[in-house]
């Protein structure tokens, strides 16, 4: 297969448009900073907490509808050992956004946090919060890796461009425009990217479904033809694993900084809620084309195509089924349009992951721990360096594994089992303290490692009920073990926080041993309570005035 020159030209044009949009948005960011004379770091990371509603909806949707989303759904639907019932991503995301909008957005916005790690730092101190930041940063790096893997595989199949070159070029472009304008650049490029994703995917679907090499997907949905039915099934002894995957995707997303970055950038709580609810509907719609493409691939007689036999699954190329289907089941010009959708999806998620990790490091580690007196200019450079470092780390990981699902699930897994219970406790349970958080953190990490992970070849030491070999011969936990670990971690945080509170408040241990300062302060007098309410009213008035000033900018 020769290098697809027309396709390369189209992709080059796409990258130029995205880069141009990013540069334009960065100029707008600088104008806003001068106009409002606000905190430069807050404008870079949160767009001055005044992002447009429509732009907010687009950027939140585009953040979740990444390359892993598009290729992962197609891969699961096509895989004869899984099927569409295991292509869970769109439905759990509806739950993610609704829970986020109803419950998690309010405490985050009321306290005017900059990152999701701010409440940890304020309550637990710098040492413990730094340890808690680590899994969040790793999850973001894995997010970068999975998005680049999806694009590298697509370009190498359709354009016959080297996998390495595809990944490096895409990584450089995303890093450049994220460096230039922060959330403004990310958000406005997301608008262009989401429009391209929607149009490109739905343009490809009719050509895919009417190709002469595939049977009607309604006939293969429940009947075995070239492979097992593409709908798939969940056996009774697999129900625990299915439930575990569903909860992983639904709740794991609530422990990502990228989610709160969009919520905190909205101008009001009601706008943040509307952003969440609208984005959930977009995720459902954008998941349908990938399911259809995976279904068509499962209904295809590959021997009648130029691809030939063995099938993509037998060649261990299920992770690249979407670009393979585009290449061999649609006209060339349609496959080029399809790669545009994948490229747009990759860029929309990668820039979000880059900015997310940069905000955690720059705000919670550098600004709050390393150099508290750092100027705005210095912080801008710290953010840029962080973006480059995370981009390079994620790019390096793409050469270790080519499966989109591997990076997807491992990254979300860390957020779900380790960070989600921590976030729930810090936001909704006043009893939580550093002692409980430390125990829950260690409990989550140890139990998760000992439970094994077949995707990375880690054998389980703890074997939950139903642990056995799967259809691919890998020892797999079919019990909802990740949800179990998450619950154990959450209960550990609450139990040991309560115990520590009793021990120090009742004087069972000397106060000098109270590292996390949990000893209850003296109950305030009625006068103090009155003064507190007065101060609160004054603060609310000041906050309202500040909001009006910001809006007027």
Which of 3.40.190.290, 3.40.50.720, 1.25.60.10, 1.20.1730.10 would CATH assign to domain 7-399?
A: 1.20.1730.10
Mean pLDDT of the chain: 85
Residue 74 has pLDDT above 90, yes or no: yes
Instruction: Answer yes or no: is pLDDT of 28 > 90.
Output: no
Is the pLDDT score of 310 beyond 80?
A: yes
* pLDDT one-digit tens code per residue, 210-265: 999 999 999 999 999 999 999 999 999 999 999 999 999 899 989 999 999 999 99
Angstrom distance (rounded) from CA 532 to CA 537? 9
Highest mean pLDDT among 20-24, 178-182, 303-307, 392-396: 303-307
Distance CA 229, CA 299 (A): 8
The pLDDT of residue 38? 53
d(CA 542, CA 537): 9
pTM: predicted TM-score of the whole model, two decimal places = 0.86
Listed ranges 79-88, 366-375, 449-458; the one with the highest mean pLDDT: 79-88
Nearest to 278 by CA among 108, 94, 67: 94
Where in the chain is CATH 1.20.1730.10? 7-399
3-class SS at 372? coil
What is residue 35's predicted lDDT score, i.e. its pLDDT?
A: 65
Q: Are 485 and 424 in contact (CB under 8 A)?
A: no
What is the pLDDT, as a whole number, of residue 1? Answer: 56
Average pLDDT over residues 455-470: 87
Read off the pLDDT of residues 337-376 as tens digits, 9 standing for 90 and up. Answer: 888 787 787 777 788 888 888 899 999 999 988 888 888 8
Q: What is the mean pLDDT of residues 166-189?
A: 80
CB-CB contact of 197 with 345 (8 Å): yes
Q: Are the C-beta atoms of residues 217 and 295 closer than 8 Å to each other? A: yes
* Residues facing residue 469 across a β-bridge: 475
For 476, which DSSP code?
E
Least confident range from 38-52, 369-383, 443-457: namely 38-52
**Lowest-confidence pick of 117-126, 273-282, 435-444, 535-544:** 535-544
444: left (phi over 0), alpha (psi -120 to 50) or beta: alpha
Tens of pLDDT, residue by residue over 434-449, are 999 999 999 999 999 8
Confidence (pLDDT) at 523:
39
What does the pLDDT read at residue 401? Answer: 58
pLDDT tens sequence across 103-142: 999 999 989 899 999 999 999 989 899 999 988 888 888 8
Q: What is the pLDDT of residue 406?
A: 62
Backbone phi and psi for residue 470, each to the nearest 5 degrees, phi listed first = -85, -170
The total of other beta-carbon atoms located within 10 Å of residue 314's CB is 12
Q: Which residues pair with 266 in a beta bridge?
A: 51
The percent of residues in the chain predicted with pLDDT above 70, rounded, is: 89
- Do residues 268 and 49 make contact, with C-beta atoms less than 8 angstroms apart? no
The number of angstroms, rounded, from the C-alpha of 214 to the middle of its chain's C-alpha atoms is 34
């Amino acid at each position: 297969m020769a290098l697809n020159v027309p396709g390369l030209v189209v992709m080059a044009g796409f990258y130029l448009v995205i880069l141009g949009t990013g540069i334009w948005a960065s100029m707008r960011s600088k104008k806003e900073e001068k106009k409002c004379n606000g905190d430069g770091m807050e404008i870079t990371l949160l767009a001055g907490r005044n992002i447009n509603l429509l732009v907010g909806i687009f950027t939140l949707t585009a953040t979740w509808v990444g390359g892993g989303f598009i290729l992962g759904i197609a891969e699961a639907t096509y895989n004869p050992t899984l099927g569409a019932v295991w292509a869970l991503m769109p439905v759990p995301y509806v739950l993610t956004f609704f829970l986020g909008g109803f419950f998690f957005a309010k405490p985050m916005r009321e306290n005017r946090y900059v990152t999701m790690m701010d409440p940890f730092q304020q309550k637990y101190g710098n040492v413990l919060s730094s340890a808690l930041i680590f899994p969040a940063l790793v999850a973001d790096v894995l997010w970068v890796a999975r998005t680049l893997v999806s694009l590298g595989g697509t370009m190498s199949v359709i354009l016959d461009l080297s996998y390495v070159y595809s990944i490096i070029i895409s990584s450089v472009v995303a890093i450049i425009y994220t460096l230039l304008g922060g959330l403004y650049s990310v958000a406005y490029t997301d608008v262009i990217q989401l429009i391209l994703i929607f149009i490109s995917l739905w343009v490809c679907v009719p050509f895919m479904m009417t190709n002469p090499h595939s049977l009607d997907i309604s006939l293969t949905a429940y009947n075995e033809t070239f492979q097992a039915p593409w709908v798939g099934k969940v056996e009774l002894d697999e129900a625990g694993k299915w439930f575990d995957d569903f909860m992983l995707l639904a709740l794991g997303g609530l422990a990502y900084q990228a989610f709160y970055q969009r919520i905190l950038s909205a101008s009001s709580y009601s706008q943040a809620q509307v952003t969440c609810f609208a984005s959930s509907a977009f995720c459902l719609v954008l998941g349908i084309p990938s399911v259809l493409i995976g279904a068509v691939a499962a209904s295809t007689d590959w021997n009648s195509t130029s691809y030939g036999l063995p099938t993509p699954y037998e060649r261990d190329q299920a992770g690249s089924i979407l670009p393979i289907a585009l290449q061999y089941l649609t006209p060339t010009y349609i496959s080029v349009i399809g790669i545009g959708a994948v490229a747009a999806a990759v860029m929309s998620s990668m820039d979000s992951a880059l900015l997310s990790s940069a905000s955690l490091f720059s705000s919670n580690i550098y600004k709050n721990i390393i150099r508290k007196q750092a100027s705005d200019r210095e912080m801008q450079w710290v953010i840029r360096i962080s973006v480059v470092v995370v981009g390079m780390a994620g790019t390096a990981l793409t050469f270790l594994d080519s499966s989109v699902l591997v990076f997807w699930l491992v990254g979300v897994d860390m957020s779900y089992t380790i960070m989600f219970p921590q976030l729930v406790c810090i936001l909704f349970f006043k009893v939580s303290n550093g002692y409980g958080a430390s125990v829950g953190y260690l409990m989550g990490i140890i139990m998760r490692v000992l439970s094994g992970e077949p995707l990375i070849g880690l054998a389980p030491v703890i074997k939950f009920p139903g642990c056995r070999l799967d259809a691919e011969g890998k020892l797999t936990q079919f019990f909802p073990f990740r949800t179990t670990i998450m619950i154990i971690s959450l209960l550990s945080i609450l139990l040991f926080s309560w115990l520590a509170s009793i021990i120090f408040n009742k004087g069972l241990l000397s106060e000098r041993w109270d590292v996390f300062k949990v000893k209850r302060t003296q109950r305030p007098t009625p006068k103090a309570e009155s003064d507190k309410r007065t101060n609160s009213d004054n603060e609310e008035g000041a906050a309202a005035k500040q909001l009006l000033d910001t809006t007027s900018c």
